[in-house]
Amino acid sequence: MNLEIPKKFKPIITAARTAATTVFRPISRKYDEHEHDYPKELDLLASALDGMADGGNSLGGASGDRSEKKQAELGVRNGGNMSSVLNIMAMCYGDVGLLLTIPRQGLGNAAIAAVANDEQMKRFGKMWAAMAITEPGTGSDSANIQTTARKDGDHYILNGDKIFVTAGERADAIVVWATLDKKIGRAAIKSFVVERGTPGMELVRLETKMGIRASDTAAISFTDCRVPAANLLGSPEVDVKKGFAGVMETFDNTRPYVAAMAVGVAEAAIELTKELLKEKININYTSPANNLKAVEAEIVKMEADYEAARLLAIKAAWMADNRIPNSTEASISKAKAGRVGSAITLKCVELCSSMGYSEAYLLEKWARDSKILDIFEGTQQIQQLIVARRTLGLSSKELK
């Protein structure tokens, strides 16, 4: 097993880390304090990023022919998903919220890459796309979506409400999850690209949040919103046997990305903690943890958790690039990274005492930012439930 990062990704990582330290960090506090102001400094960065990752978008992932025959022709690949994960880790070393608000780098882009056909990729691939899944009263159960899509000639008519839409105000389009028939259940849930300015789509409000304040989070309503039938991503057919699998391919792409965000923040917190405490620590990595100072032992434990989360995210991304079913691994990486990312940043605040709690440093901000990474794209509990179902071979009805 070769755990080294392929050389072709080194320039991407270097460029992303440079952006994290020279673009993100200097404005990080500014947009934490001015939550709903748009970070204009990111426009130039967005132009530079457009062609940097394999797939064109740092959150775009990889798309294309998923067949076993095509995969055999391609051989082992380190492609768009791997590129995106490594890019995200490096940029979140600077600021998660700013990453989430870079134009044309939305979570909806990953949804498009996961299920769009070739024609749709040409139309939507370069858009800045947000993703609208969560609804009032639905919580983490994405299969219980109440927003409806009714076919009307060459259009679908959408009705429903969405909340916690990342980049919902700023994105060019929203990828909306809706059901074609509530009676059929999760198999009837499809995703639709609704472009900004479409009649019937209304921005209801912007949320005020604990963390990732540089990123706007919106509530959006859809009232008789007419969307071209060609904007339904993937196949319009309802396949009861396949069930929710087609839509869940989106999560298989995006959950390793969220894991990568948590890994990037955790690395930043550990490094700053070591810098702030450098006069009090001198870690001997050849010595057992029990022989180290208490603070040194805590740092060693955090580094071990960080490394485990990093490798899990990379593994899930590699599997996606190679068209290997990665639903379990995507959830494992998200569960691990989300939990340890939040735990590491809080522990770093604790270890640095008043320096960690003060706004003079970014540790307290990273602790606030990291909590959402354990919540969105499926909470910790949901990820563990998915892993249990996959491991035990049980359906969602059999294990709730």
For the chain, give every domain's residue range: 7-124, 129-231, 245-392
- The yes-or-no verdict on residue 162 having pLDDT over 80 is yes
- Which of 263-267, 287-291, 327-331, 337-341 is predicted with the least confidence, judged by mean pLDDT? 287-291
Q: Which fold has domain 129-231?
A: Butyryl-CoA Dehydrogenase, subunit A; domain 2 (2.40.110)
Q: What is the pLDDT of residue 44?
A: 87
* pLDDT tens string 195-233: 999 999 999 999 999 999 999 999 999 999 999 999 999
Which residues are CB-neighbours of 11 under 8 A, at least 6 positions away?
A: none
Q: What is the pLDDT of residue 92?
A: 97
- The yes-or-no verdict on residue 57 having pLDDT over 60 is no
Asked if 342 and 373 count as a contact pair (C-beta separation under 8 A), the reply is: yes
Q: What is the pLDDT of residue 381?
A: 93
Q: How distant, in Å, are the alpha carbons of 10, 39, 41, 126 from that of 45?
A: 19, 11, 7, 15
Catalytic residue annotation: 377
* pLDDT tens string 221-269: 999 999 999 999 988 887 655 545 556 677 888 899 999 999 999 999 9
pLDDT-based confidence at 35, cuts 50/70/90? very high
Asked if 266 and 370 count as a contact pair (C-beta separation under 8 A), the reply is: yes
CA atoms 223, 228, 234, 239: torsion sign: positive
Over range 141-166, report the average pLDDT. Answer: 92
d(CA 69, CA 47) in angstroms, rounded, equals: 36
3-class secondary structure, 114:
helix
pLDDT-based confidence at 66, cuts 50/70/90? very low
Range 7-124 has CATH code 3.20.20.210:
no
The two structure tokens encoding residue 267: 């690395």
Asked if 179 and 189 count as a contact pair (C-beta separation under 8 A), the reply is: yes
Which amino acid does the sequence have at 76?
V
Residue 261, phi then psi, degrees to nearest 5: -60, -45
3-class secondary structure, 220:
strand
d(CA 360, CA 370) in angstroms, rounded, equals: 18
The two structure tokens encoding residue 90: 């490096």
Which CATH code fits 245-392? 1.20.140.10
Over range 306-329, report the average pLDDT. Answer: 94
pLDDT-based confidence at 323, cuts 50/70/90? confident
CB atoms within 10 A of CB 252: 23
3-class secondary structure, 238:
coil
pTM for the full model?
0.91
